[in-house]
Each structure stands twice: as C-alpha cells, then as structure tokens.
Amino acid sequence: MVTSINVTRAAEDLPMLLTISEAGAFLRIGRSRAYDLAREYLDSGGTIGLPVIRLGPSCLRVPRWALLELAATGRVIRLCDVELPGVGGRLVR
C-alpha cells in the first residue's frame, strides 16, 4: 500500500526523511516515475533526478529539505557537496 502525503500540509509536518513513494506523492508524480528519478539521481552522481540518500542495500530516502528545494526552485541538490552548518565540512558518502 502506497502512503500518500497531503500536499497542502505544512512543510514542517513532513518527516525529515521520506520514502520514494511519499516524495512522489508530494510532487504529484507516480510511484514508478519517482523511482526512475531516484535512479537517475544515483546514476548521474547527483546532477539530475530526485535527491536520495542510501541507508542500506535496498533503502533509499529523500531528505525533506532537498525535496522542498526541488519543488520550490527546480534545483537538484547534490547531497555529497552540501556544507554542514556550523561544522564547515562536507557530507560524506
């Protein structure tokens, strides 16, 4: 069963990490298209597609802030290049 997200819900109410299906519902695209975009992101090294992080061999999650950036600006965030606030370092893969 696919979990859907009410698109009108405030961004703060979204979980910090979303499943691919939840992110697809938020973007109002189909589940298959969302998975295709996640694969494109991984295959392109983070230059196109749906920003995801891998939490295991078969566990992908979409960071809320990266999803909101994509939805608001169309900009795809390359997660491995993001500066950590207050740390001055980059996220590591």
The CATH number assigned to the domain holding 73 equals: 1.10.10
Query: Looking at the domain assignment, is residue 64 inside a domain?
Result: yes
Q: How many angstroms separate the most distant Cα atoms in the chain?
A: 41
Number of domains in the chain: 1
pTM over 0.75: yes
Distance CA 90, CA 25 (A): 30
Mean pLDDT, the chain, whole residue set: 85
Direct distance between the N- and C-terminal alpha carbons of the chain, in angstroms, rounded to an integer = 31
Domain that holds residue 39: 13-81
Distance CA 79, CA 37 (A): 15
pLDDT at 71 over 60: yes
| Locus of tokens 């740390």 | 87
Partnered with residue 92 across adjacent β-strands are none
pLDDT at 77 over 70: yes
Mean pLDDT over 54-67 rounds to: 95
SS3 9: coil
Query: Looking at the domain assignment, is residue 90 inside a domain?
Result: no
